[in-house]
Amino acid sequence: MPVLRVHRRGSTIEMELPRGISLLEALKAAGFARDVESPCGGLGLCGGCTVRASGGLSGRSPREALMPGDLRLACTARLLGHAEVFLDDPPQPIFSGPNGSHALAVPEDAASRALPFRLDLRREAMVGTSSLEEFLLRSSAGLSCPPEAVSDLALEGLAKMLSRGEPEAVGWVFDHRVVMVAPLGVTPLGLAADLGSSTIEVAAVDLRSGEVLGRLRVENRQRRLGRDVISRVVRAIEGFSDELRSLLVLSLNEAINELLKSSGASADRVVKMVVGCNTVVGSFLFGIPPAGLSERPFLPWTLRSRTERASGLGIDLGCPLTLLPSIGGFVGSDALALLYRHRSGGARLLLDLGTNGEVLLWTSGGALGASTAAGPAFEGYGLSCGMPALPGAVHRVRLDGGDVKLDVIGGSEPKGICGSGLVSSVSLMREMEVLDRSGRMKPCLGLRFRLGGDVDLWVTQRDVREFQLAKGAVRAAIETLLEEAGIGESQVELCVVSGLFGGSLEAVDLIRTGMLPPPWRDRIHFSPDGVLEGLLSVLLGGEKAMREVEKLASRCRHVSLDRDDFKERLMRCLDLGESYPG
């Protein structure tokens, strides 16, 4: 009989299995059911059971032929001989670079600069001081903004320098505190982390210059136990809370370590970290099971900001980690960071679109926030030819001289369709009049629309329905907030679309598919890095920025979508027309 070897968390399990069994059945039989999902029922449509596998396996299905490397769908790959499966394989960075394909913009007025002061570490220079803390405060007293306190990290750094017998060092003051003592020429860093349901993105910034040194995004491993926040809450109640937390911390540590490595920096240079996330992810990060969000009324564990030493949370850093305040329900600190980034001006609507869609409406009276379960379609998951926004993903579809042209991330051969590619495809189908406003494809398409190109890629009728549910939920949430605020569509001066999904969209596609109302056609602003930029602004702004964030949070009110008229509104918003009937 064929032998299957399963590698997971540094251990290997071998088992003999019948020839012809699917990898999905084999993994479930071996007790690994929670490591692979199959929400499509094992039909090879959703991609939830993707694993890395090699050896004696059946040939690739048409869907698998689009997948890179040795990735296979466990539900369609069958065991024909000896084979291996790798679970919890270290994820490849989805993106890494000096400052991204979209340069991170941090407002100049947000940047507090770290100030250096020279330290004479000879013992005679310390005569007359009663402690290392006093020595640091005295040595930095001549700065234009002398510090008021000394961090534990700075004291630890000074102790290390003294134990090595170093004659001199440099101390750094940031935000009225001595934050680091290091060899000459070493500057302090800060990290901003956007912990999303599907991906985790971290950026590193030099606190002296304010320069963003690099950024990196990896998949949130929690997806293996739940594709969205609701399913993860359910899994936590079923007893998997600790494992969900471990997967989150593992993903964050991988992102941090890889980012620091690619930036040529060590972990002891990081003196501050600011985090934004939805309330479910924040709950897992701090080790609090999200039981309050399991049923109505949906109550998060806290709305307050929290600061703890990162190492105490299992993160490979010794610096303080600050989680920004949340707004309410599932609307978390990531939404508040986006609002902080775009808080100026008149009435504006902010969208952070992903698996968990967050909608904010900012007016002179403050902000209203709501969360809607948009589902994974916006991030390319669960589609017939779907994939995340990685190199090879079709992110835009357009007509060029009557031919369908595909814009592909990275300019490589198309391998799949990401969320923005789905929106663009549906918009094009509406333009070509092969899809009616109810979402029904013309019979001539045979229930799928082929995009063209050298590789077979298509959008199916089922994919269109997934999009309708996602965009309908967002549009219904928008209408609910407008009604709650007592303002009309025409009074909204700006609509900001953030998140990975917003990085490759066209305003015309959002209007043509009915996701946003026609009056906003010229008022749509895309801010793909809005959350991360908001976090960086808070990081560099120090205590002053945190006070502003706390004040901003006090002006926010959560609006529950659990109301009698929302279902009716949602059904109406499934329409793909630019303006809704009735």
**Res. 511: pLDDT tops 60:** yes
Question: What is the per-residue pLDDT for 30?
Answer: 78
In the numeric block, the tokens 């507090």 are attached to 112
Read off the pLDDT band of 455 (50, 70, 90).
low
Read off the pLDDT of each residue in 535-546 and give the average, rounded to a whole number: 94
Beta strands, E only, 348-439: 348-352, 357-363, 366-372, 393-400, 403-408, 416-417
**Res. 245: pLDDT tops 90:** yes
**Res. 539: pLDDT tops 90:** yes
Cis status, amide bond into 391, omega within 30 of 0? no
Report pLDDT digits (tens) over 293-325. 998 889 999 999 999 999 999 999 999 999 999
DSSP state of 236: I
Evaluate the CA torsion angle 75, 77, 83, 88 in order and state its sign.
Answer: negative
Cα separation, 472 vs 313, whole angstroms:
38
**Res. 96: pLDDT tops 60:** no
Cα separation, 552 vs 539, whole angstroms:
16
Report pLDDT digits (tens) over 392-416. 888 888 888 778 888 888 888 888 8
Question: What is the per-residue pLDDT for 112?
Answer: 66
Higher pLDDT, 167 or 374: 167
Read off the pLDDT band of 97 (50, 70, 90).
very low
Least confident of 110-114, 190-194, 387-391, 448-452: 110-114
Question: What is the per-residue pLDDT for 581?
Answer: 42
**Structure pTM?**
0.84
Cα separation, 438 vs 22, whole angstroms:
37
